[in-house]
């Protein structure tokens, strides 16, 4: 069976733009292997909203949206973004048969989880699937949104929220059936890991931070990275999904890094140890205990050798002991791929194929 998925892009920054070029690059695979065609039916950002009733090829969207912003006079849009999502979902016949997907990539308020949470809720309650790279929804409202998705018979997927496109949530959900995750520890924030590594080599805090900002990796507000908020949000998302936690980033014990971290990092190195900002959580009686803290690790620890932009997560499981998954490269393509892999989970659900492109027996 083949199908056309319709995408409503909510947010259209670097990640979304790379996502549409990736869709274009993967067009042959999508069609041949998965029987899927992709049409973009709308783009909604702070700067303007473009609705495309007949749909557009992914390859044509960026130019079309740029042209739209440049030529159409700004006018007062009365609807909120959730209202717009609801309107589009109600109008498109694709919604009924589960072929409308909201692709959520807006700028996130890590401390509140908004506006992403409202966007996810509006999508699900109006019959659209959601794929997002935002941590907020899973970090603040996972169980509510997951229930909303189940009730609607739609998917709420967010592989890109942690470690870009390297499978974490999908790893546990799709390849570790019947396994209970007891806890995890990991290095999940790239900016702080890069800064600590550079400081070990003698670089100053401010310089290393600036390099991450120039590279477009650090959050616009650096405190979100260096004060541990990003790591805390990822910890909450992981704990809520993998450990059945009911926590938020605010309830994660949190430590950050600063200029004074340099001394500790260099001292640790002289003792053949490495200082890392480690995210941890574990199931405890009646809930989950979660924290982000600087830890000195033995050099042989899989987390100790993560240089610069590498991330890793060690899962502590009941049946398999410890499993670690390591991301050794990161960037826009990896983040955009997270959206693609989630989209394929939805698409193969529609066409009745498996993720390796076969018919479900």
Binding site for its own copies (CB under 8 A): 22, 26, 29-30, 33-34, 98, 150, 153-155, 164-167, 170-171, 173-179, 299-302, 305, 307, 312, 314, 319-331, 333-334, 337, 340-341, 344-345, 348-349, 354-356, 358, 360-361
Q: Are the C-beta atoms of residues 149 and 137 closer than 8 Å to each other?
A: no
Alpha helices (H) along 131-228: 136-152, 169-175, 190-200, 205-214, 223-226
Shortest distance, position 116 Cβ to its own copies, whole Å = 22
Shortest distance, position 349 Cβ to its own copies, whole Å = 6
Report d(CA 292, CA 95) in Å as an integer.
40
Shortest distance, position 111 Cβ to its own copies, whole Å = 30
Report d(CA 198, CA 185) in Å as an integer.
22
Q: C-alpha angle 310/254/278, rounded to 5°?
A: 30
Closer of 250 and 305 to its own copies (Cβ)? 305
Nearest to 231 by CA among 281, 287, 285: 281
Report d(CA 13, CA 65) in Å as an integer.
12
Closer of 154 and 254 to its own copies (Cβ)? 154
Closer of 114 and 305 to its own copies (Cβ)? 305
Closer of 120 and 172 to its own copies (Cβ)? 172
Nearest to 269 by CA among 231, 310, 312, 307: 307
Task: Give the largest Cα separation in the chain, rounded.
Answer: 64
Shortest distance, position 109 Cβ to its own copies, whole Å = 28
* Distance set, CA 313 to CA 91, 162, 278, 281, 328 (Å): 42, 10, 10, 11, 12
Shortest distance, position 323 Cβ to its own copies, whole Å = 6
Shortest distance, position 166 Cβ to its own copies, whole Å = 6
């Amino acid at each position: 069976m083949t199908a056309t998925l319709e995408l409503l892009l909510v947010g259209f920054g670097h990640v979304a733009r790379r996502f549409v070029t990736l869709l274009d690059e993967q067009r042959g695979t999508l069609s041949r292997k998965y029987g899927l065609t992709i049409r973009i039916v709308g783009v909604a950002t702070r700067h303007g909203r473009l609705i495309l009733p007949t749909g557009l090829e992914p390859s044509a969207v960026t130019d079309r949206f740029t042209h739209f912003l440049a030529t159409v006079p700004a006018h007062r849009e009365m609807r909120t973004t959730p209202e717009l999502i609801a309107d589009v979902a109600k109008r498109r016949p694709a919604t009924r048969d589960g072929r409308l997907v909201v692709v959520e990539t807006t700028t996130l308020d890590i401390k509140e989880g908004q506006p992403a949470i409202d966007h996810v809720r509006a999508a699900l309650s109006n019959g659209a699937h959601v794929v997002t790279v935002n941590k907020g929804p899973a970090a603040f409202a996972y169980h509510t949104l997951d229930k909303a998705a189940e009730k609607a018979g739609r998917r709420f997927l967010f592989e890109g929220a942690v470690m870009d496109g390297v499978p974490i949530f999908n790893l546990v959900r799709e390849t570790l059936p019947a396994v209970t995750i007891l806890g995890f520890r990991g290095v999940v924030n790239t900016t702080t890991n890069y800064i600590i590594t550079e400081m070990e080599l003698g670089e100053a805090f401010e310089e290393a931070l600036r390099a991450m900002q120039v590279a477009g990796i650090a959050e616009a507000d650096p405190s979100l990275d260096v004060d541990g908020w990003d790591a805390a949000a990822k910890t909450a998302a992981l704990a809520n999904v993998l450990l059945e936690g009911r926590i938020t980033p605010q309830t994660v014990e949190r430590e950050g890094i600063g200029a004074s971290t340099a001394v500790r990092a260099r001292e640790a190195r002289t003792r053949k140890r490495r200082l890392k900002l480690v995210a941890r959580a574990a199931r405890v009686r009646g809930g989950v205990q979660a924290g982000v803290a600087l830890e000195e690790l033995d050099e042989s620890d899989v987390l100790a050798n993560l240089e610069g932009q590498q991330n890793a997560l060690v899962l502590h499981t009941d049946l398999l002991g410890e499993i670690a998954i390591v991301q050794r490269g990161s960037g826009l393509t990896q983040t955009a791929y997270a959206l693609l892999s989630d989209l394929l989970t939805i698409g193969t659900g529609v066409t009745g194929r498996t993720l390796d492109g076969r018919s479900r027996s």
